Structure 1
Amino acid sequence: MTAKQKDRTAMKIVGMLHAPALPGAPGYAGDWSALRDFVLRDAAALVEGGVHGLMLENFGDVPFFSGRVPAEVVACLTRLACDVKREVGEEVPLGINVLRNDGESALAVASACGAAYVRVNVLSGAVVTDQGVIQGDAARMLRRRREMGAEGVAVWADVRVKHAAPMGQGWRPLEEEVEELVLRAGASGVIVSGSGTGKATDADELRGVREVMDGLGDQAVPIWVGSGATADTAAGLLEHADGLIVGTWVKAGGQLGRPVETERVKRLMAEVPGS
Structure 2
Amino acid sequence: MDLKQIFSTPHPIIGVVHLLPLPSSPRWQGNLKAVIARAEQEATALAAGGVDGIIVENFFDAPFAKDHVDPAVVSAMTLVVQQIQNLVMLPVGINVLRNDGRSGMAIASVCQCPFIRVNVLTGVMATDQGLIEGNAHDLLRYRRELGADVAIFADVLVKHARPLGTPNLTTAVQDTIERGLADAVILSGWATGSPPNLEDLELAVNAAKGTPVLIGSGADWDNIGTLMQAANGVIVASSLKRHGKITEPIDPIRVQGFVEAAREGAAIGAIAPPPAVKIAP
TM range (shorter): over 0.9
Report the equivalent of 1:88. 88
1:16 and 1:55 in contact (8 A); partners too: yes
Give the CA deviation at 1:5.
Answer: 4.8
| Equivalences, count | 262
User: Does residue 1:192 correspond to 2:187, yes or no?
Assistant: yes
TM-score by length of 1: 0.92
User: For residues 217-228 of structure 1, what are the structure 2 equivalents within 5 Å?
Assistant: 220-228=210-218
Residues 40-66 of structure 1 show CA distances to partners (whole Å, capped at 9, x for unaligned) of 100000000000000001001111011
The equivalent position to 2:256 in structure 1, one of 256, 263, 266, is 266
Aligned amino acid, residue 162 of structure 1: K
Give the CA deviation at 1:8.
Answer: 6.7
2:26 and 2:62 in contact (8 A); partners too: yes
TM-score by length of 2: 0.90
Identical aligned residues as a percent: 38
Aligned amino acid, residue 34 of structure 1: A
Report the equivalent of 2:278. none
Structure 2 gap ranges (5+): 267-281
User: For residues 193-272 of structure 1, what are the structure 2 equivalents within 5 Å?
Assistant: 193-213=188-208, 216=209, 220-272=210-262
CA distance in 2, matches of 1:67, 1:174: 24
CA distance in 1, matches of 2:153, 2:55: 11
Report the equivalent of 1:100. 98
Report the equivalent of 2:272. none
1:200 and 1:228 in contact (8 A); partners too: yes
User: Does residue 1:139 correspond to 2:129, yes or no?
Assistant: no
Give the CA deviation at 1:273.
Answer: 2.5
Aligned amino acid, residue 12 of structure 1: P
CA distance in 2, matches of 1:131, 1:109: 23
Structure 1 residues 154 and 116 mapped into 2: Cα distance closer, same or farther (>3 Å)? Answer: same
User: RMSD over aligned Cα, in angstroms?
Assistant: 1.4
The equivalent position to 1:122 in structure 2, one of 117, 120, 123, is 120
Aligned amino acid, residue 75 of structure 2: A
2:6 and 2:114 in contact (8 A); partners too: no
Aligned amino acid, residue 88 of structure 1: V
Aligned amino acid, residue 183 of structure 2: S
1:8 and 1:188 in contact (8 A); partners too: no
CA distance in 2, matches of 1:258, 1:24: 23
The equivalent position to 1:166 in structure 2, one of 158, 163, 168, is 163
